[in-house]
Amino acid sequence: MDAVSEQMNPQLVDALRPVEDPELHRSIVDLGMLRRAELGADGTAHILVALTVAGCPLRNEIQNRVSSAATEVDGVTDVALEFTVMTDDEREELRKMLHGDAASTAGHSHAHGHAEGRAIPFADPGSKTRPLLISSGKGGVGKSSVTTNLAVALAQLGHSVGVVDADIYGYSIPRMLGTDRPPTVIDQMLVPPEKWGVRCISMGYFAPPGEAVIWRGPMLHKALEQFLTDVYWDEPDFLLIDMPPGTGDIALSLSQYLPRGEVYVVTTPQPAAQKVAAMSAAMAKKVNLPVMGIIENMSWFTGDDGKQYELFGAGGGQELADDLGVPLLGQLPLVPALREGSDAGAPITAVDPESEAAQAFRTMAQTIAVDLQPKKRFNAELKVL
Ligand SMILES: Nc1ncnc2c1ncn2[C@@H]1O[C@H](COP(=O)(O)OP(=O)(O)OP(=O)(O)O)[C@@H](O)[C@H]1O
């Protein structure tokens, strides 16, 4: 879908080709967004860009990117940039180009497909995405904070990262990440908002503000399935799932949708919490997903005197890890800045990368990305000749 016509100024088009749509991460030329690029005799570049949707929240960003790229071209003294909006047909074309046709993937791949929709891409054995299911036995242990900061830490290591906020009873990821803007909808394809290099989709975007939503079982499963199929994730390296607290049948659905999922259990250090967390590990086992590691949160508080106070006891994370025969990936301190950052949409990993907590998140991200990388399966039929 390259809408570059012959009347376009080739130098301008070349200069604008590297300009990417900030949400779709593709060249605006390849996306068919560049509609006119002419250079007037007076040195004015006349540019027309078609936005994907009316009221595009990133219009200013696109304007800045296009203007500064056009200004670089020899002979351009001024840029006259205008916007139009794609038609429904053009949006449909764009969606097909980026996301394929639902009918073409429904129900006939190894992936979990269903009659009327598209197959879940992450269930495909060829998918490069590692789904990381972040779970905890009960609420309030910091599961969402860990999901958010771990996602940012993975992005800082250069990985492409998405987060699915499946914690329908306490969807907090948009607030913690600072992605309050709802997804852009292009012909029923949801383009997730992005911040700190992390894309995010949440039940929170679809719940009326201030109203508690009662999610009935089937609705919940449908919503979750749509988060995996109708969202333009663009094959991220990691897809983190903030699981609802407790055990429950969401885990069962997710294990079907994400058969290659890896479970990471967040716990606090006291033995009672560890018992509850062990239940979520038992659930993972029941649905055949491997627990890959334990993350201990709120392990200690460092006082003004420099001493570490173990407010919630000690050793719970290590004990659980030993019981399950998996590594304790890290221990996170209790720090007010972590909570403040979460409340303000400024994750500590992003805004204070040298802090003790941020460093711990970075180490965990590295361990997950490198040491816990799934091993390539040995195929006995392959022989080296
Ligand atoms: N290490 C920490 N230091 C300070 N505050 C923390 C820490 N971890 C989490 N918190 C705070 O504790 C509260 C609960 O954390 P969070 O929402 O991440 O937990 P959760 O397990 O996801 O809970 P829920 O399931 O209820 O959403 C939040 O206010 C968060 O900012």
Report the pocket of ligand 1 as residue ranges, CB < 6 Å.
Answer: 136, 139-145, 167, 170, 172, 245, 297-298, 332, 334-335, 338-339, 342
Please provide the size of the chain in residues: 385
Domains, the chain, ordered by start: 10-96 (3.30.300.130), 121-371 (3.40.50.300)
Question: Which tens digit of pLDDT belongs to each residue from 159-199?
Answer: 999 999 987 777 889 999 999 888 999 998 999 999 999 99
The percent of residues in the chain predicted with pLDDT above 70, rounded, is: 88
Within 8 A by CB and 6+ apart from 174, the residues are: 165, 180, 193, 200, 202, 204, 205
| Spatial CB neighbours of 381, under 8 Å, sequence gap ≥ 6 | none
Point out the least confidently predicted range of 74-78, 110-114, 200-204, 372-376: 110-114
Q: How confident is the model at residue 335 (pLDDT cuts 50, 70, 90)?
A: very high
Best of 135, 144, 145 to mutate for ligand 1, by most ligand atoms within 8 A of CB?
Answer: 145
What is residue 211's three-state secondary structure?
coil
Closest CA to 20 of 49, 54, 53: 49
Mean pLDDT of the chain: 87
258: CA distance to ligand 1 center in Å?
A: 26
> Nearest CA to 132 among 365, 377, 375, 376?
365
Percent of the chain with pLDDT over 90: 62
How far, in Å, CA of 99 to CA of 189, rounded?
8
pLDDT score, position 92:
95
Alpha-helix residue ranges (DSSP H) falling in the chain: 10-16, 59-71, 88-99, 102-105, 143-156, 173-177, 217-229, 250-257, 271-286, 316-324, 336-343, 348-351, 356-366
Unique residue bearing structure tokens 């209790």: 334
ipTM: 0.97
Range 9-14 average pLDDT: 96
